[in-house]
Amino acid sequence: MKNLILNALAFGLAASLQPAAHAQFGSGIVFDPTQAGHAVTQIENEERSIANEAQQIEQGQQIFTNTVKIATTALQAYNVAKQQYELAHQMILAPRMLYARLLSPTTDLMMLQQISNTYGNSMGWLNSANTGNGAAVAYQQVGVPRTTNVVPGYASASFAGQQQIAAQGATIDIGDSVMTTNLQVLGTIRANQAARQSDIANLETASQTQDPSQQTVMATLQRINQALLLQLRTQQDANQINADLALQQMVAQKQQQDAMKSAFRDSAGYESYYNANITTTSGGAANLLTQSY
What digits encode the pLDDT tens for the residues 208-248?
A: 777 777 778 888 888 888 888 888 888 888 888 888 888 88
Q: Nearest CA to 135 among 148, 144, 126, 146?
A: 126
On the CB side of 281, CA atoms within 13 Å amount to 5
Q: Which percentage of the chain shows pLDDT scores above 90? A: 2
What predicted TM-score, i.e. pTM, was given to this entire model?
A: 0.53
- What Rg, from alpha-carbon coordinates, does the chain have? 56
Q: Nearest CA to 29 among 42, 11, 9, 50?
A: 11
At 29 the pLDDT is 60
Q: Helix, strand, coil proportions of the chain in percent (round to 5)?
A: 80, 0, 20
At 251 the pLDDT is 83
* Helix (H) and strand (E) counts in the chain: 8, 0
The span from the CA of 176 to the CA of 236, in Å, is 24
Cα 113 to Cα 107, 110, 264, distances in angstroms: 17, 9, 46
HEC per residue, 162-173: HHHHHHHHHHHH
The confidence band for 32, taking pLDDT boundaries of 50, 70 and 90, is low
Answer yes or no: is pLDDT of 275 > 80.
no
Answer yes or no: is pLDDT of 28 > 70.
no
Mean pLDDT taken over the chain: 76
Bigger pLDDT: 263 vs 116: 116
The span from the CA of 279 to the CA of 6, in Å, is 161
The span from the CA of 208 to the CA of 198, in Å, is 16
What digits encode the pLDDT tens for the residues 144-191?
A: 887 777 778 878 888 877 888 888 888 888 888 888 998 999 889 888
- The values of phi and psi at residue 144, to 5°, are -70, 130
How many CB atoms are located within 10 Å of the residue 40 CB? Answer: 15
DSSP class per residue in 187-246: HHHHHHHHHHHHHHHHHHHHHH---GGGSSHHHHHHHHHHHHHHHHHHHHHHHHHHHHHH
The confidence band for 118, taking pLDDT boundaries of 50, 70 and 90, is confident
At 8 the pLDDT is 47
